[in-house]
């Protein structure tokens, strides 16, 4: 299971190393794409279709919302393979979208990895920290 968070660095030519723990688990045949809230998603190619089904609710109907999800995610996806040192080159269009500078955060979220610009993640983490208690309480109420 992909869990935890790791600091990464974006080097020259937009190259970064995937944390070894994640790389050992996710493998080397990967897909990277735009994700929500200005981060990127990194998944194993074998999991890609399952992720898309989760996003579209398994819909076989190509509705407006499904088309937009496909445009946003599929239209930005790249197949990548890490080099022998576990490094990948992040495509320029994705690096621009995610506003990458130098410091990155790799988040393991069970079945996928999100890659964030550290500055953006730090702000997002503050918001999550402030609202997570309320959200958990609402979930608990709904289950009663």
Three-class DSSP category at 114: strand
Residue 129 lies in a domain: no
Q: Which CATH number characterizes residue 82's domain?
A: 3.40.1550.20
Residue 127 lies in a domain: no
Residue 139 lies in a domain: no
- Cα–Cα distances (Å) from 114 to 38, 56, 92, in that order, read 10, 19, 17
Encode the chain (144 residues) as per-residue pLDDT tens digits: 999 999 999 998 999 999 999 999 999 999 999 999 999 999 999 999 898 888 777 666 677 777 888 888 888 999 999 999 999 999 999 999 999 999 999 999 999 999 999 999 999 999 988 887 787 777 777 777
- Rounded to two decimals, the pTM is 0.89
Residue 135 lies in a domain: no
Three-class DSSP category at 56: helix
Tell me the residue range of the domain where 20 lies. Answer: 2-117
Residue 142 lies in a domain: no
Residue 111 lies in a domain: yes
Residue 141 lies in a domain: no
Report the number of distinct structural domains present in the chain. Answer: 1
Residue 130 lies in a domain: no
């Amino acid at each position: 299971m992909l869990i935890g968070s790791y600091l990464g660095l974006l080097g020259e030519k937009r190259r970064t190393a995937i944390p070894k723990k994640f790389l050992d688990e996710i493998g080397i045949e990967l897909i990277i794409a735009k994700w929500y809230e200005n981060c990127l998603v990194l998944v194993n190619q074998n999991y890609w279709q399952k992720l898309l089904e989760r996003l579209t609710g398994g819909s076989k109907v190509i509705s407006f919302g499904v088309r937009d999800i496909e445009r946003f995610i599929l239209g930005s996806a790249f197949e990548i393979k890490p080099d022998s040192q576990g490094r990948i080159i992040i495509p320029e269009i994705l690096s621009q979208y995610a506003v990458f500078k130098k410091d990155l955060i790799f988040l393991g979220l069970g079945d996928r990895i999100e890659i964030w610009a550290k500055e953006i993640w730090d702000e997002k983490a503050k918001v999550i920290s402030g609202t997570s208690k309320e959200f958990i309480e609402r979930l608990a109420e709904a289950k009663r």
